Every structure is written in C-alpha cells, then in structure tokens.
A and B are shown apart, each in its own frame.
Chain A
Amino acid sequence: MSQRIRNALFKYMGSRLALKIGLSLVVMFFCSISGYAQTPGITIKGKITDSKTGEPIFGASVLVKGTSNGTSADLDGLYTLGNISGQDIIRFSYLGFETQEIRVGNFSELNISLQSSTSDLNEFVVIGYGVQEKRNLTGAVVSVGSDEISKTNFQDPISVLQGRAAGVQVTSNSGAPGGGMTINIRGNSSLNAGNSPLYVVDGVPIETNVSSSLNGTENFGLNPLADINPTDIESIEVLKDAASTAIYGSRAANGVVMITTKRGRSGKPQVDVNFNSGISTVSRNLGVLNASQYRSAVLDSYRNANSSEQIIPAVLDSLSAINNGDFDWQSEMFRVAKQSNIDFSIRGGSDNVRYAWSSSFFDQDGVILNSNYKRITSRLNVDFDVSDRLTIGQSVSYTNAVNNRSNAAGSGNLSIVRELLIRPPTFAMNLPDGSLNGYQLGRRNPVGLAQLSTNLNKSNRLIASQYAEYKIAEGLKFRSSINVDFVSMKEDTFIPSTLDFREGYNTGSVRSSNNMTWANENILTYQKQFGTSHNFGALAGFSYQDWKYERTGLDGLFFTSDNIRTLNGAGTISNQGVNVASEHSMLSYFGRVSYDFERKYLFEANIRADGSSRFGKDNRFGYFPSASVGWRFSDEGVFDNVNFMDDGKVRFSAGKTGNEAIGNYTSQGEFLVGTNYLDYSGASPSVMPNSGLTWETTTQYNAGLDLSFWENKLMINVDAYIKNTNDLLYNVPIPRETGFDFITQNIGSIQNKGIELLMTTRNVSTLDYSWSTSFNISSNRNSVKDLPDNLLTNGFIQNGAFHILKEGFLIGTFYGWRFDGVYASDEDNVNGITNGAQGPAYRGGDPIWHDVNGDGFIDQNDRQVIGNATPDFFGGINNDFTYKNFSLSVFFQFSYGNDIYSEINHQRNSIVRYNNLSTDALNRWRQQGDITDYPKPVRDDPLQSMSRIQSRWVEDGSYIKLKNVHFRYSLPNKMLNRWKISKLDAYVTATNLITWTNYTGYDPDVNSYSGLRVGVDEGSYPQSRTIILGLNIGL
C-alpha cells in the first residue's frame, strides 16, 4: 500500500483511541500481505471420497502443511495441486471428517478417503466472529450439536440446553406451549441490570426482551427464542468465560449463546422431511378438599375468628343451586393435549451456490383448555461465490406464531392455576338458568376463564443477515454484513361479562409492538502460518447497532356484546391510548490476535470498545479486554510414551465484560407524560437523572483442563472460574420525601465462582452395538460481596417480597419467619409470646414462630434466613445406545440443594374468606390439645399465620427428572437403496416422563420471576408429560 494512503489513514484517525486500535490493526494487516512468495515444484492430483459412502467430497481442503499453498476438491472430489516438493506433507481436511496428513514422497497421485468424525462440527466450534478448532480452544465454550437436538422434541433452542450444557442453568417459567425459560450462565452477575445472556443467531445479535407479555398478565410468559426452529440449528455454542465473550464487550457479562443454523453444501440436494405427532398430559394433579371437607374447613375458619358476625356463610348452603357442586377444578380443566410438527428442508449446492431451504409447521395444544400454539417458520440460507475472491450470502428466517395463551399465573382471580386450586369445590359450574356461573364471591370460574376469555398473541419475526466476504489476499478477508431483527407483535385480550359480577361489564385490550434492531458489522480477518509452526491470526472490526421500539395499545370496557371483541365494540375507551417509542444505539470497535506455536502453546487476546447511547456523554465508551493462553502438555516430549492419553491441554483466561442493561434514558432523567387528571393531559418527573452512570463490569478468570484418553474413549473437560462484577447498576432506594422511589447508581459488587465438569465416555463400541455416556455437573456459588452501607436497612436490601440481598450471602436467599409448629393448646404458649408488641398472645392452633431476639413478641425483627434458591449442583446425564439400526437415548437432568418458595402453596392453604384448601388441611388443628403441624384456618388470617413469608412455604426443590427418552429405528441401507432414499427413521420421544422430588407443587423445575427473585413458584402453567411418534425421511 502506498505511503500516501497510509498517511491519510493516520491523519484520519485523529485522537480517538478506539479508532486508533482498530486502524492500527487494519494497517498491520495490509502491511503484512506483501511478504507472500511462491516456490516451484512438482504437481500432485487425486480424488477425495467419503470412506463410508464412497461419495466424492466436494470442497474438501488440500493444503501443503505449513504453507498457504492449497486447493479444494471439485464436484467429483478431484483436485490438482502444484508447486510441491517430495518433502512436503499434504493435509486433507473437511468439516465433519477426520483430517489426514500424508508425506508426498514419490507419489504423484494421492486418492484419499476421509473418515467421518464422530459428530458433525465436533471438530469446530463457533466463537464470536469466527470458528475455531475445538481442540485449540483456550476459552470456556460448550457446544450442543444438531445430533443431540434431534433427539429431543423441544421446539425452542433454550430447552435444548437444559441439563446438557455445563454451567448453564435453565429453569422453566411456565409449562405453557411457547412458554418462557430463565437461563443463567455461570450464575447471576447483575443485581437488576439483567441476567440474560446475549443471543447471536448466525452472527446477528438478536433482541430478546420483546417477546415477554405485552399486557403483563403473566410473568415472563413467552420464550424469546421460540421463533427459532431447532431443526434448523446446526449447533448451539455457549460462550462462558471472558476470553470467549469479551469480543461482545458490553453485552457479554452474562455469557453469549451462539446459534448457528444449517447451511447448504455443494453436492446433490438433500431433502429431509420430518413429521411427528403426539400427546401431552399434565404431569401431576394437586390434592384439594372436596365439598364436605371444604364446608367443614370454612366453618372452622369462622369459629376460629370468633367473628362477631353470627352469620352462616352462604357457601355452606348445600341446597343452594349455586353451591351444590363438588368439583376438583383441575379435572374439569386439564386435558389430553395433541401436538404435531412437520419440517421440510432441502439443502445442497453447485459449483458456486450453496443453499439451505427449510420450513416447518408446528401446532401444539396445551393441557389447559383452549390454550394452543401454532408456529410457521421458513428459512433460506444462501451463499454465492461471485468470483474466486468474493462470496455473498444471505440468511433469512421468517416466523409467524399465534399463541392462544392462558392467563395461568396472572395476578388475582384472573389466574387460572390459582382459581383451579382455590375456587371452592361447592361452586356450581352453571347457574340454574343454564348459563355459566362465571363469578361468585370474588372467585372466577377457571373453566370459563380458559374457554371464554381471549389472550391471543400473534407475532411475526424476521431475522435476516446479508453479507459480502472478500478475499483480499491469501489469509486476509474482509466481511461486511447488515443484520436485521424485526419483531412485530399484537396481543388481544378480552374478559367477557359472563365472568364478571356486573351486568354487561366486559373488558378488552389490544396492544401491538414493533421492535426493530439492525446492525452493520465490518470485519477484517487474517490467518497465516509462518514456517511450519507459527500460526498467526488477527481480526479487527467495527459495528454499529440501533434499536427502536414502538408500542401502541388501547383498552376498553362495556363492549356492546361479548361476541364483538375488537375495540370498536367498546362502550368506553378506558385510557388515552398507549403509544410509546424508545430507541438506543451502540457503536463498537473490536479486535483479536491469536498465535500458536505448533498447536502446543496457544495464545489469544481480544478487545472491544463499546459506546452506548444509554450513558451520559462523559461515560459513553467502555473498554473490554481479555486474554487467554493454552498449553497442550501432551505434545511435550515427556508424554511421548504415555500411550493412554491422546490429548491434554490446560487453559487460562482473564478478561472484562460489561452490562448496559438499564433503561434507554435512565441517565438523562425522565419526565413522563400521561399522568393525566381526568381529560387534562399531565406530565410529571419519573426518573431522577444521574449523568454519572456507567457500565457494570465483570472481570472473570477461568482455568480449564481438557483431557482425552484411550482414543477418545474418555474425554474430560473441567473448568473453574471466578467472576467479579463491580459497579453494579442498581435502583438504589432513596427517601420518598424526594418524590422519587430510587436512583439508578453504580454500586457494590457480586462474586460468582464455580466449577464445571463434562465427561464423555464411549463405553462400548462394536460393529453392532455401542454405548456412550455424557455427564455434566456444575456448581456455582454466588455471593454479594459489597453493598453500600447507606442502602442497607437492618443490614440487607429487601429484594421483592421473598428475598434479601446481604453481604456474604447467596443471591436467592429467602428471608422470613421460621415456622416451628403449632401450639397444641393455649397453655402451650408458656412464654406468652404475642403477635407484635401490642398484639394478642398466640393461642392453641396458632403457628409457633421462632422468637429470634427473645423479646417475647413476633415482629419484623424476628425474620431470618429461611432458605436459598441456589442449587448446590445441577447437571444432566445422557446415555446413547445403539444396536444395529436401533438407537436409544436416555437423558436425566438433576438439581440438588435448591429451595423453592412455594407461593402457590401459601395461596392454597390460606382460606382468607372462602378459598379452598389443599388436602394437607385435613390434618389441621381443630381443638385444644390437637398435636399437628397444620395451624387452624382463621377467616381473614388476622395474625398473618399463612401470609407471612415463612419457612413453611420453603421446600426442598431438589429433583432428578427423566427428561427425555428417544428411541429410533433407522431403515437399513439395503432397503434404502432399493427405495432410492437416503434415510427413513421412525422414532418415539418422551419428555418429562418421571420426576423424583419431594416438592409438593406441580413441578420443581419452576421459576416464576426472572432476575434475582429466583426460585419462587407462583403457580405457573403446569409442566406436561409428552409422548410423540415421528418419521424422518431423507431423499
């Protein structure tokens, strides 16, 4: 390159450091092209084939080892390569096949048959802005391939990771079709700036906040990745340590999930059809009182309240036409639900075009009446070689999903699950006139809620990425891409008047949202081998990303009819209409250098500079560096004679990542409009500005060990890490006298440390029979290291209703009163403990609370740690068996040592006025002297016996679950050849078959809230047991 341009470049750089780094790298690359030279020699040719099928391998790489002299095989697997000397070693490789190296010697023709490796992509893993040979990784990356995905029947990528990826904790928010999941990679590293990882689909960082419910009726109701059809996925990589994630800088503190979809390969088209269909049933029913048991409990609750009202509650009148029922509402609600799925794909390519085209249709009923999820996906991935140097391509995926949701876990009496469990069994289904008994004494009819109300969510999503890649010189490539993720969603709700107590009172709403993010990324990569042993790589790039969110909505009531549910039917529009928009942008520069010596000493360093519009002018840019080293000690001389070990490598990494997950305008402060007075529009201050806000940063250290023995019969990967997060973005509560509830500040620190083990064994491997096992286990301990003193009241921060944050304690610590049993009689309360300083003394049948400070009364100061939601360890074990053409895969997942705060058990043991109780209440205290651990039910619960946050609702959430069983029969080759098809498989997949647990709710795999309020069961949509039958045909 000319000096003139170089000067121009330098001049251009000005003083911006980030730019400087980026451009220095650019310049370096341009400079290093010049040293390229060629040497004369002989020519060699041959054919490369698949050892199994004998088919030619188009595109297989042929390379003179230690040089860049290489070529690739043509359509017929033929290659010709010149400029070779007899001393050269030729390296033959292709993705998915074992690499072979052969010394040329006197050969002039080398025909090679490559062995397919045990699993596709086993050799390579996708990393940020590139791929890397798995054995050369220096960071902590876990990978799940398409083989494993195909053995599950999950319809979203996150479920696939559950129990399969060490260090990745996945819990279900809801068992609903398309329901949400919470994913935590190496623990919680943020207090309230978000703990969800960054998702990157085919290089497109996608938006995941959009898919949660718009109208807030159910917490975290939707799965943000349900729009991605798992069948399309080639591999999912989870980047865990800072060395792997720092290239994604400010969004990477919670790890990065890279999803790579299948692309076409040159060769004849491969047609794949996969059809399956099955049923699900609810995995468990919970015990509730029947009508007569219920009436007796209500009577008790009146008697125990010593109510001055000597009225017999109407619910006890079994002759009344609306009170003569005897229902377990669960059996009126849960159904055997059907589902079916069909996938269709064609993949292939010619000389210069490769394509992967697929579409799918999925239709699933939920176990709750009327709930249904339908999804259509369509994808086209194309790569086109315009010339030897220029390749362009596009990945486009479109998803349409229609989710007829149930308001399973919403608040109050609109929650179906809660109504199922606490609506009195005596309430009639229908009124004497035959119409639905929709509402009675504050309880709504759950069957009516499910069947008559509307909660319809429709979404359209386009994820598209368009790229051009130009080979500037050997080893030097420039790639530019435009990525788009567009989600449009519409949600309709309607509650008909038949479910209300007021004549003609029905309510409805409509919400629609658009979420558009686009990014432009420009990357220069350079890869070169110097001599035979020095491998050098570098990458430099910059990107710009822009997010825009818009939401529009309207609420109405008094609709003309329950049958007209669009808002034009509303008699009253009950708000001024919602229409808000917000935006956010980020500009980034990043770079990487890597070097290894004979694949033995490995080194890599990354840096990213991110500038975000969310922060004030002076704090806009954050810098996120990382470095890692690896040492393949098995290649050292001393190991030459150690035959049982194939490979041994240690890895170390350190680096910094960030989190910018705060409100788009938090640092600027905000005046909210819409704080109206009647019809007069108002505005008011809502966020106090803090221009000093900056990134939350996480520094992570990782040490890893990769071992393989006896020709890969045993493979072990171990990782240990420490993650320190500082400058936590936190909404610090301030005195309300200021007019504000909190200010967002950078405060305190959290530490996560843990260890992860992945062990894969090939136990038996014969011609007919094989058995392999994969086992992973992880343990993460997080603790709050430092909180500013002025935030602490009584030494901790209350975090929602159930949890506290306290220095030295785990996140997810439950805090409340310890329940020590029940006073058998009034005299049992020998110390005369009272309820509050001035309240009454506890009597027979009241709970015994632990009087922590011994002051003789129970109040706020008697709260203590009553449990913790963090498991001691969790993981999964998978066994694959094959016998001839049969294969069986059995997968267990487990979690041990975590507690669940069962808010739903509180709900269903709290009679309040007329609620039904769990069958545990049969064991309740009834009279003086009764020895039991179930307190007396008291109308309105004046002493908060049930409603206190208490150890009684904390249960052991440990479990082992037979999560997945997959049995498959593949038609033998002989038959296939006769029918001229490449594959015909029949399979059965069962999900959630058996769960071993002491937890008494629907399922221990539950998490009603995201973020730090972990381990609470509010009564989500129950999990179901699913069995499907399927057929997979390849042409």
Chain B
Amino acid sequence: MKNTLKIFLGILLLSIYSCSDDLLQRDPISSFSAQGFYKTSSDAQAGVYGIYDAVQATFSTNFSLWGEGRADAVNTNQAGDPFLLQQNTLNSILASARWNNLYETISRANYAIKYIPTVLEDDNEFGRQLVGQARALRALSYFYAVRVWGDVPLILEPYESVQQNIFPERSDKELVLNQIEADLIFASENCRASFGGERNRILITRGAAEAMLTHLYMWKKDYPNAIGSAEKVLANNLYALVPMNDWSRIFTQGYTNESIFEIGYNEVQRNSLRVLYALGSDSNFFPSQSFRNSFEDGDLRQDLIYDVAETQPRKIWKFFGQGFSDESPDPSDKNIVLFRLADIMLLKAEAHHQMGQTAEALSLLNTIRNRAGLANLDEAGATNLYGDVESAILHERLIELSFEGHRWFDLVRTGKAIEVMNPINGLNDERNLLWPIHEDALNRNPNLSQNLFYQ
C-alpha cells in the first residue's frame, strides 16, 4: 500500500509537467511576436508611426550631408564626412554612404503596406490614409536613395523569412522613380487633406504628397506635371508664407503655416542640427565665403541665417535663432523642415521658366524676394544680376532655403553641379555626382556592385 501511494505521488508530479507544449510556449510580453502584430486598427496606426521613427533617424544628420555637404554654401573644418564631401574625396566608408536607415524605413513601410489591408478593409478611409502615409514615406526614402546612389535595390515586400531573396540586386533608377511616382500619387489621393493642428506639419497629408510629387517631377524634368502638383500645393489653404518677422520661427519653433512637411523631434527624440551647424568653426558646416558674399544688400534674411558680426566662428543660427551662442555638441530637439511653401513656389517658378512662362516665374520669385525686403526683379534685372532667370531663381533657393538640404540636389537637377563645384573642389565627372555604396553594404550583399566612378 505504501508503495502504491509513492508511485501515485510520482505520477502526480510527472503529470504536472506532462503538457510540455504549454509549459514551453512563451509568447513575448513586452513586444509582439512576428505573427502577433497587425491584428487591430491600433496596430495599424502604431506600425505607421513606427515608420516615422525610422524617418527621424534617417534625416537627423543626412538631410544636410546629402543635401549640403557637397555643395557650395558650406565650408568645414571637420575631418570625416564633412571634409571628404567638401573636398569631393568621397570614399566607401563615409557615414553618409550608408543607406541602412532608408531601408529600415522602407522595410517598416513594406510591413505596413502589406498588413494594414489585412486589418482594415480596402474601403476603410482610416486604413487607406495609413497606407497612403506608408507609401509616401517609402517614396521619400527611395527618392533620396535614387538621388544619392542612382540605381538601388527596389524592395516592395517585407522580409519575413530566410527563404526570401535576402541578396537583392540594384534596379534601374527609372523603375524606382516610377514606383515613387505611383506611391506618391496613391498618397495624394488617399491621405488625409488635413488632420487639424500641428499634425498637419509632421504627418504626411495630401499636400505633403503633392509637394513631394513637385520635387519628383522637377527631378524628372517633367515641368507640366510639376506645375500641376505645385498648383495644388499653392491652392491648399493649409499653407501660407509667413511674414518676415516670423521667418526664423519656421525653423526655431516649427509647425508654422509655411511648413508642408517637417520631421518632428523633441527633447528625447533628437537630431544632429547642433553638431551640424551650431558650433561655429567646430560644427560640421559653417557658411562658405562665396555664400556669405552672395547676399544682395538689404536682404533681411542675412543676419537671421548666420552670425554676420563675429569673424570667427561664423556660426549658422538659422535653425536656433539670432544671437544663439550655446556651443554644446549636444543633440537638438528642433524639427527639420523638409518641404515648405517657399520651396514649392520657387520650384514652380523654375518650371514656369522652363516652359517659357517667364512672367509667372518672376512673379513667384518676387513674392519670395519681397518678403526678404528685396526689390522686384524683372527679366533684365535677373539677367543683369545672375546671368539669367533660372540662375536668379536658383540663387533665391540658395539663400531662402540655405542649409535646409536642397542645394546639392538643385545643382545636380539643373546640371550645374560641375560648373559650380569644379572651381571649389575639382568635381569634373558626371559619374562622380553619385555617392559610393558603403563598403559594409557591398560586403554584406554579393549581388551589389560599386558605382562606376568608385570602382
């Protein structure tokens, strides 16, 4: 009897552990398993905000390294990327040659684009506008990728298994540009026209998609479509030029009516603006001599853009406010304005000029000039001062949009990069307009080949 009892107890103990599958199945508590996410509409929303999180990281430094580093408005004392970009001695270990963050953004967007329709029906407005945002952010990433590296791998599906082709090849840039256009058109039709309040500036709205389309068409030299998109932006009552008194606030405060899309940052989610610009000669960039000399007399923006009084260091204070003197190399919490109304107006002016509609072009140009306290330019005046109307507009973009990450792409887009940069750093090869692909990317993916100039 005693033995029976013992064995009974033994069985009891064993049976506690008999359901090993239950005991050994542990789902994540503080995160989702790959199969466990995208089940509810709040998952869908969180997935999209997660894309913006990657966008924050992408543009923290790179909006400037990509958009200004190789152009003529800046100069530098900094070893590393700033120096190599300025000297046009790009190599494959540049930080700005990495596309990791862009593809992380794309990956998150691909998840959202694939899975949101499984949560929210196709005809659900909330779902469609979320997909619209995801596709716009994917387009934004590819647009930068194409402009920086040319042909890039075009990935439109999320990676979910080792069985997928994890070594993608580069796709022709025209294919990528077509995808960008398709994504942006979808976004311009399906995103919300307005969220109300500050969210209109930091999330993708229809207006933001149209602004990106304007940029895309300008890049493709498709001027009629550029004008078409730009007109929609100009007609959008969310956007208005701010008065000159408030001009600094576009950058220092953010969320102004002039802003079409800016990347939001705060005390915790911070960017590199200060390291880029705030530290005078210790910062990544300070205004170049030629930039400082290119202001017209009476330009109200000049001393809002940089410290004109001090000889050394001439710090850029456009993003921090006039008189800004804090030189700590700490991250910044200011938003980064990617697209704003003045930018789209000047692009539209350029397009009109290309279409031979000089009057419309000058009218837009003068709107921006007048705000800065400068007199109207007519065609003769523009030719007299800048050689031609296109150059006058580009010069206006140089000043108005200074250090906002547009200059290099403007130069490349208009075919002026070699003309402008050759005297500065000897740039003389079209193939050199692209960045090299980072060594790490080449090492990880045998199906990638280096851009010709850097082979």
Asked if residues B103 and A736 are in contact (CB atoms below 8 Å), the reply is yes
Asked if residues B26 and A585 are in contact (CB atoms below 8 Å), the reply is yes
Interface window among B118-126, B181-189, B265-273, B389-397: B265-273
Asked if residues B25 and A613 are in contact (CB atoms below 8 Å), the reply is yes
Q: B12-46 CB contact bits vs A (8 Å, 1 = yes)? A: 01111110110111111111111111000001011
A683-B4 contact in complex given A542-B14, A574-B268, C-beta closer than 8 Å? no
Interface window among B244-252, B351-359, B436-444: B436-444
Known contacts A586-B24, A683-B46, A684-B111; 4 further A-B pairs (Cβ under 8 A): A585-B26, A668-B33, A670-B28, A736-B441
When distances are taken between beta carbons in the complex, the residues of chain A under 8 Å from B16 are 544
Asked if residues B24 and A736 are in contact (CB atoms below 8 Å), the reply is no
Nearest CB of A to B201, in Å: 11
When distances are taken between beta carbons in the complex, the residues of chain B under 8 Å from A472 are 6
Asked if residues A574 and B267 are in contact (CB atoms below 8 Å), the reply is yes
Q: A767-798 CB contact bits vs B (8 Å, 1 = yes)? A: 00000000000000000000000100110000
Checking B11, B32, B159, B312 against A688 with a beta-carbon cut-off of 8 angstroms, the contacting residue is: B159
* Chain A residue with the shortest CB-CB distance to B328: A501
Interface window among B162-170, B341-349, B372-380: B162-170
- Compute the total of residue contacts between A and B using a CB distance below 8 Å: 237
* Chain B residue with the shortest CB-CB distance to A578: B30
A683-B326 contact in complex given A677-B52, A689-B161, A736-B103, C-beta closer than 8 Å? no
* Chain B residue with the shortest CB-CB distance to A689: B34
The answer, yes or no, to whether A734 is at the interface (CB within 8 Å) is yes
Question: Within A663-685, which residues are at the interface with B (CB < 8 Å)?
Answer: 664-665, 668-673, 675-678, 680-685
Asked if residues B4 and A544 are in contact (CB atoms below 8 Å), the reply is no
The answer, yes or no, to whether A581 is at the interface (CB within 8 Å) is yes
Asked if residues A617 and B21 are in contact (CB atoms below 8 Å), the reply is yes
* Chain A residue with the shortest CB-CB distance to B454: A837
Question: Within A719-758, which residues are at the interface with B (CB < 8 Å)?
Answer: 733-741, 743, 745
Question: Within B399-455, which residues are at the interface with A (CB < 8 Å)?
Answer: 439-441, 443-446, 448
CB pairs A–B below 8 angstroms (9 shown):
A12-B14, A542-B17, A575-B268, A580-B31, A613-B23, A669-B34, A735-B441, A737-B99, A836-B89
The answer, yes or no, to whether B288 is at the interface (CB within 8 Å) is no
* Interface residue ranges, B against A (CB under 8 Å): 3-4, 6-7, 10-11, 13-18, 20-21, 23-37, 43, 45-54, 56, 77-79, 83, 89, 91, 93, 98-100, 103-104, 106-108, 110-111, 153, 155, 158-162, 164, 166-168, 202, 264-269, 281, 312, 326, 328-330, 439-441, 443-446, 448
CA distance A671 to B111 in the complex (A): 11
CA distance A16 to B15 in the complex (A): 13
Nearest CB of B to A734, in Å: 5
Asked if residues B34 and A308 are in contact (CB atoms below 8 Å), the reply is no
Nearest CB of B to A660, in Å: 12
A309-B36 contact in complex given A673-B31, A683-B43, C-beta closer than 8 Å? no
Asked if residues A681 and B49 are in contact (CB atoms below 8 Å), the reply is yes
Nearest CB of B to A787, in Å: 14
Checking B10, B265, B444 against A736 with a beta-carbon cut-off of 8 angstroms, the contacting residue is: B444
The answer, yes or no, to whether A940 is at the interface (CB within 8 Å) is yes
When distances are taken between beta carbons in the complex, the residues of chain A under 8 Å from B18 are 19
Asked if residues A587 and B20 are in contact (CB atoms below 8 Å), the reply is yes
Asked if residues A739 and B106 are in contact (CB atoms below 8 Å), the reply is yes
CA distance A736 to B99 in the complex (A): 8
* Chain A residue with the shortest CB-CB distance to B28: A665
When distances are taken between beta carbons in the complex, the residues of chain A under 8 Å from B269 are 676-678
Checking B33, B49, B166 against A670 with a beta-carbon cut-off of 8 angstroms, the contacting residue is: B33
Checking B54, B99, B100, B155 against A684 with a beta-carbon cut-off of 8 angstroms, the contacting residue is: B54
Overall SS of chain A's interface: mixed
Asked if residues A671 and B32 are in contact (CB atoms below 8 Å), the reply is yes
Asked if residues B167 and A735 are in contact (CB atoms below 8 Å), the reply is yes
Asked if residues B31 and A678 are in contact (CB atoms below 8 Å), the reply is no
Asked if residues A669 and B53 are in contact (CB atoms below 8 Å), the reply is no
7 A-B pairs closest in CB distance: A739-B107, A669-B34, A682-B49, A793-B443, A684-B50, A682-B50, A677-B52
Asked if residues B49 and A677 are in contact (CB atoms below 8 Å), the reply is yes
Asked if residues B107 and A670 are in contact (CB atoms below 8 Å), the reply is no
When distances are taken between beta carbons in the complex, the residues of chain A under 8 Å from B264 are 677-678
The answer, yes or no, to whether A442 is at the interface (CB within 8 Å) is yes
* Chain A residue with the shortest CB-CB distance to B330: A502
Interface window among A1-9, A95-103, A920-928: A1-9
When distances are taken between beta carbons in the complex, the residues of chain B under 8 Å from A311 are 312
Checking A480, A664, A681 against B46 with a beta-carbon cut-off of 8 angstroms, the contacting residue is: A681
Checking B33, B37, B103, B312 against A739 with a beta-carbon cut-off of 8 angstroms, the contacting residue is: B103
When distances are taken between beta carbons in the complex, the residues of chain A under 8 Å from B100 are 736, 741
A735-B168 contact in complex given A9-B7, A684-B53, C-beta closer than 8 Å? yes
Interface residues on A, range: 35 or more
Asked if residues B32 and A683 are in contact (CB atoms below 8 Å), the reply is yes
Asked if residues A671 and B11 are in contact (CB atoms below 8 Å), the reply is no
Asked if residues A839 and B89 are in contact (CB atoms below 8 Å), the reply is yes
Asked if residues B30 and A581 are in contact (CB atoms below 8 Å), the reply is yes
A793-B444 contact in complex given A739-B107, A740-B159, C-beta closer than 8 Å? yes
Asked if residues A5 and B7 are in contact (CB atoms below 8 Å), the reply is yes
When distances are taken between beta carbons in the complex, the residues of chain A under 8 Å from B441 are 735-737
CA distance A638 to B47 in the complex (A): 79
When distances are taken between beta carbons in the complex, the residues of chain A under 8 Å from B54 are 675, 684
* Chain B residue with the shortest CB-CB distance to A612: B24
When distances are taken between beta carbons in the complex, the residues of chain B under 8 Å from A942 are 79, 83
Asked if residues B4 and A668 are in contact (CB atoms below 8 Å), the reply is no
Asked if residues A665 and B49 are in contact (CB atoms below 8 Å), the reply is no
Checking A19, A478, A617 against B14 with a beta-carbon cut-off of 8 angstroms, the contacting residue is: A19
When distances are taken between beta carbons in the complex, the residues of chain A under 8 Å from B50 are 675, 677, 682-684
Nearest CB of B to A784, in Å: 18
A502-B83 contact in complex given A583-B26, A671-B32, C-beta closer than 8 Å? no
Asked if residues B47 and A682 are in contact (CB atoms below 8 Å), the reply is yes
When distances are taken between beta carbons in the complex, the residues of chain A under 8 Å from B45 are 680
When distances are taken between beta carbons in the complex, the residues of chain A under 8 Å from B98 are 736
* Chain A residue with the shortest CB-CB distance to B145: A737
CA distance A735 to B52 in the complex (A): 22
The answer, yes or no, to whether A26 is at the interface (CB within 8 Å) is yes
CA distance A790 to B50 in the complex (A): 31
Nearest CB of B to A669, in Å: 3
* Chain B residue with the shortest CB-CB distance to A734: B166
When distances are taken between beta carbons in the complex, the residues of chain A under 8 Å from B3 are 1, 30
* Chain B residue with the shortest CB-CB distance to A792: B443
When distances are taken between beta carbons in the complex, the residues of chain A under 8 Å from B52 are 677, 680, 682
The answer, yes or no, to whether A582 is at the interface (CB within 8 Å) is yes
* Chain A residue with the shortest CB-CB distance to B89: A838
CA distance A643 to B448 in the complex (A): 74
Nearest CB of B to A503, in Å: 10
CA distance A611 to B166 in the complex (A): 31
* Chain B residue with the shortest CB-CB distance to A442: B329
Max chain B Cβ within 10 angstroms of own Cβ: one of A587, A611, A671, A745: A671
When distances are taken between beta carbons in the complex, the residues of chain A under 8 Å from B78 are 940
CA distance A940 to B13 in the complex (A): 68
CA distance A689 to B33 in the complex (A): 8
Asked if residues B7 and A683 are in contact (CB atoms below 8 Å), the reply is no
Asked if residues A583 and B49 are in contact (CB atoms below 8 Å), the reply is no
* Chain B residue with the shortest CB-CB distance to A745: B162
Asked if residues A683 and B166 are in contact (CB atoms below 8 Å), the reply is no
The answer, yes or no, to whether A411 is at the interface (CB within 8 Å) is no
The answer, yes or no, to whether A445 is at the interface (CB within 8 Å) is no
Checking B33, B53, B266, B439 against A671 with a beta-carbon cut-off of 8 angstroms, the contacting residue is: B33
Asked if residues A309 and B281 are in contact (CB atoms below 8 Å), the reply is yes
A584-B26 contact in complex given A673-B32, A688-B160, A734-B444, C-beta closer than 8 Å? yes
* Chain A residue with the shortest CB-CB distance to B7: A5
When distances are taken between beta carbons in the complex, the residues of chain B under 8 Å from A581 are 29-30
Asked if residues A738 and B268 are in contact (CB atoms below 8 Å), the reply is no
Checking A668, A681, A734 against B28 with a beta-carbon cut-off of 8 angstroms, the contacting residue is: A668
When distances are taken between beta carbons in the complex, the residues of chain B under 8 Å from A611 are 20, 24
When distances are taken between beta carbons in the complex, the residues of chain A under 8 Å from B46 are 673, 681-683
Asked if residues A735 and B445 are in contact (CB atoms below 8 Å), the reply is yes
When distances are taken between beta carbons in the complex, the residues of chain B under 8 Å from A574 are 267-268
